[in-house]
Amino acid sequence: MKKPLIRFAALVAIPIALAAYFLTSHPFTQELGSQTIYIGELSPQQINNVQVAAKSINDVVLKPGEEFSFNKTVGPRTFKRGYDAAPSYLNSDSPATFGGGICVVSSAVYQLALSAGFPIIERLPHQKTVRSVLPGLDATVWYGKADLRFQNNLKTPIQLKAEVDHNDVTLKILGSQPKEDVTVRRLVTRETADQIQVEVFRQIKDKTTLVSRDLYALAPRHAYQHHNH
Delimit the domains of the chain by residue range: 27-217
pLDDT recorded at residue 179: 78
User: Which H, E and C letters describe the chain, residue by residue?
Assistant: CHHHHHHHHHHHHHHHHHHHHHHHHCCCCEEEEEEEEECCCCCHHHHHHHHHHHHHHCCCEECCCCEEEHHHHHCCCCHHHCCCEEECCECCECCEEECCCCHHHHHHHHHHHHHHCCCEEECECCCECCCCCCCCCCCECECCCECCEEECCCCCCEEEEEEECCCEEEEEEEECCCCCCEEEEEEEEEECCCEEEEEEEEEECCEEEEEEEEEEECCCCCCCCCCCC
Do 78 and 98 meet the contact criterion of CB atoms below 8 Å apart?
A: yes
pLDDT class of 21 with cuts at 50, 70, 90: very low
Percent of the chain predicted with pLDDT > 70: 81
pTM of the entire structure? 0.82
Tell which wins on pLDDT, 153 or 40: 153
Q: What is the mean pLDDT of the chain?
A: 84
User: Is residue 125 predicted with pLDDT exceeding 90?
Assistant: yes
pLDDT recorded at residue 132: 84
pLDDT class of 93 with cuts at 50, 70, 90: low
Dump pLDDT digits (tens) for 75-88: 999 999 999 988 77
pLDDT recorded at residue 130: 86
pLDDT class of 131 with cuts at 50, 70, 90: confident
Dump pLDDT digits (tens) for 142-164: 998 899 999 999 999 999 999 99
